[in-house]
Amino acid sequence: MPFIPHTEEDVREMLESLGLKEKEELFSHIPEKIRLKSPLSLPNPLSEMEIEREIERIASMNKGVMDYISFIGAGSYNHWIPSTVESLLNRGEIFSPYTPYQPEASQGTLTILFEFQTMMCELFNMEVSNASVYDGASALAEACLMALRITKKNEVILSSAIHPEYRRVVRTYLESAGFKVSEVQFKESGETDIEALEKKISDDTAAFAIQNPNFLGIIENIEKIKNLRERVNAMLISCVTEPISLGILKPPGSYKTDIAVGEGKSLGIPLNFGGPYLGIFTSKMEYIRNMPGRIVGETIDIEGKRGFVLTLSTREQHIRRAKATSNICTNHNMCAIAATIYLASVGKEGFKRISEINLKKAHFLAKELSKNGVKLRFSSPFYNEFAVKFKNPQKALEIGIEKGFLIGLPLGRFYPSLEDSILINVTEIHSLEVLSDLAKLLGEIKDV
């Protein structure tokens, strides 16, 4: 049997030392009526050679962004990953430890997480970061819960230009605990309607949340948002699903954000059909005791040497149990390590350049599209994603596939009012040539 090293002799010796003869006796205290009478019904076991063949066969049933030229983003952006990331993540010393409960035997993991926290603070311009949560959506839900704890109020307001799945996760998390979740619409230009938001904010409002750039690709009017935060007694939660944008765009900390969360998928993590990704969670220092999840801190050992430990754990479930700031235990450590290695590898200048290329190529495509008579859905500034109008989006997508393109995400899936639009994402991986090809194709099929 693979992965079980015990020989017959080992088993016999171990049983003998327990005064037993047969392995079945190990389970003799399990009542007869709940013992399984027949073997589990599972496929026959496969050897390593056979499973390799089988899994390769199943993998070949899939067609991904290597087979098509893809412009689907919508919260999962396809970026280039330096080979350093995969190479280091393949080390058993990185993927095979547990959560670093014994710091003296876990300085590798802890040091990298300390670097991760520092990098997230830098990117988001926030004072403190935790060591990751599951994904962007759960980060946003946890941020809402944290704001509700701090303010002791009972409502959060979400911009409807936040990723629709994130909003759904927030509702799942909050509504069962009895909190109210309301939404404010976006304007015709694609920005969140800040005036309407201001009217909605009441004494019950713990926080309002925006995504920047928002789900429609639009860069929000952060000056207005900052001003609003200064005027109202509700916290501002900012969510970034495309952290590559932070190479050039104003970071959440610069517009008075109290809690900034994000999806770190873009930072060295493969598409993987939607997961595992990386929940980023940062805030102002004053809220640290209310933060969910693991936090790594610096300290010294008995000889005065620098070292790192999990800290402030009196917030957490294993100490505080029912009164913990969250139930989270296992987080997304490997993804946080991937992001750290990614950012270290591309470096200060590389990160900025990649961020610029994303912006420029997206605007290059937009220009090419307008040359071909294709109209953008929204007028506000955008980063690397934008919505385009079609007479029949479904038909356009089908033709796209025939021609080898995954054109984008049909927005009607989430917004009935945007049934005429497809969301298109451009990143550094797209060559100018394929962008021109796409513009030409869309010009031909926009009115189909």
Partner 1 sequence: MSEKLIFELGKSGRKGVSIPEDELKELKVEEILDKRLLREEDPSLPEISEIEVIRHYTRLSQLNFCVDTHFYPLGSCTMKYNPRIAEKLASLKGFSTLHPYEPEELVQGALKIMFELGKFLCEIGGFDAITLQPSAGAHGELTGLLLIRAYHEHKGKKRTKVIIPDSAHGTNPASCTLAGYRAVEIKSGKDGCIDIDRLRGELDEETAAVMITNPNTLGLFEEKIAEIAELTHSVGALLYGDGANLNALMGISRPGDMGFDVLHFNLHKTFAAPHGGGGPGSGPVAVKKELEPFLPVPVIVERDGKYHLDYDRPLSIGKVKTFYGNFSVMIKAYIYIRMMGAEGLKRVSENAVLSARYVINKLKEVYDLPYDKPPMHEGVLSGKKFKEYGVKTLDIAKRLLDYGFHPPTIYFPLIVEEAIMIEPTETETKETLDAFIEAMLKIAKEAKENPQLLKEAPHTTPVRRLDEVKAAKEPILRWKKDKGES
Tell how far CA 292 is from the center of its chain. 16
**Binds partner 1 by CB under 8 A, chosen from 128, 162, 387, 426:** 128
Q: In what order do the strands lie in the sheet with 205-211?
A: 128-129, 279-283, 259-263, 235-240, 205-211, 155-159, 180-184
Residue 57 amino acid letter: R
Q: How far is the CB of 340 from partner 1 (least distance, A)?
A: 8
Distance CA 305, CA 270 (A): 37
**What is the footprint of partner 1 within residues 337-356 (CB under 8 A)?**
337, 340-341, 343-354, 356
Size of interface with partner 1, in residues (CB under 8 A)? 201
Distance CA 210, CA 212 (A): 7
Check binding of 442 to partner 1 (CB under 8 A): no
**Binds partner 1 by CB under 8 A, chosen from 235, 237, 260, 357:** 357
- How would you class 224 by CB atoms within 10 Å of its CB: exposed for 0-12, middle for 13-18, buried for 19 or more? middle
Q: Which two tokens stand for residue 323?
A: 């009164």
* β partners of residue 259: 237, 283
Binding segment (CB under 8 A) for partner 1, from list 149-157, 187-195, 229-237, 249-257: 249-257
Q: How far is the CB of 333 from partner 1 (least distance, A)?
A: 4
Maximal CA-CA distance, the chain: 84
**Binds partner 1 by CB under 8 A, chosen from 151, 192, 266, 326:** 326
- CB-wise, 206 or 328, nearer to partner 1? 328
* β partners of residue 260: 238, 282
**What is the footprint of partner 1 within residues 258-317 (CB under 8 A)?**
263, 270-277, 288, 294-303, 305-309, 311-314, 316-317
- Name the CA dihedral angle for 269, 271, 277, 278, rounded to a multiple of 10 degrees: 40
**Binds partner 1 by CB under 8 A, chosen from 329, 370, 371, 391:** 329
- CB-wise, 377 or 400, nearer to partner 1? 400
**What is the footprint of partner 1 within residues 182-211 (CB under 8 A)?**
none
**What is the footprint of partner 1 within residues 4-33 (CB under 8 A)?**
4-6, 10-11, 13-15, 17-18, 23, 26-27, 29-31, 33
> To 10 degrees, what angle do helices 333-371 and 432-445 make?
60
**Binds partner 1 by CB under 8 A, chosen from 2, 152, 230, 416:** 2
Q: How far is the CB of 27 from partner 1 (least distance, A)?
A: 6
* β partners of residue 155: 180, 205
Pair 166, 210: CB distance under 8 Å: no
What count of residues does the chain have?
448
- CB-wise, 130 or 151, nearer to partner 1? 130
**Binds partner 1 by CB under 8 A, chosen from 8, 59, 152, 230:** 59
Check binding of 448 to partner 1 (CB under 8 A): no
Pair 80, 355: CB distance under 8 Å: no
**Binds partner 1 by CB under 8 A, chosen from 109, 151, 211, 238:** 109
**What is the footprint of partner 1 within residues 140-179 (CB under 8 A)?**
145, 163, 165-166, 168-169, 171-173, 176-178
- CB-wise, 198 or 364, nearer to partner 1? 364
Q: How far is the CB of 237 from partner 1 (least distance, A)?
A: 17
Radius of gyration, alpha carbons of the chain = 25
Pair 242, 423: CB distance under 8 Å: no
Distance CA 10, CA 22 (A): 13
Check binding of 321 to partner 1 (CB under 8 A): yes
- CB-wise, 133 or 201, nearer to partner 1? 133
- CB-wise, 166 or 201, nearer to partner 1? 166
- CB-wise, 232 or 312, nearer to partner 1? 312
Residue with tokens 């470096």: 347
Residue 102, φ and ψ in degrees, nearest 5: -105, 95
- CB-wise, 60 or 203, nearer to partner 1? 60
Q: How far is the CB of 337 from partner 1 (least distance, A)?
A: 7
State the DSSP H helix or E strand holding residue 289, giving kind and residue range, or none if neither.
Answer: none
Distance CA 256, CA 225 (A): 8
- CB-wise, 17 or 416, nearer to partner 1? 17
Tell how far CA 437 is from the center of its chain. 31
**What is the footprint of partner 1 within residues 398-427 (CB under 8 A)?**
401, 406, 409
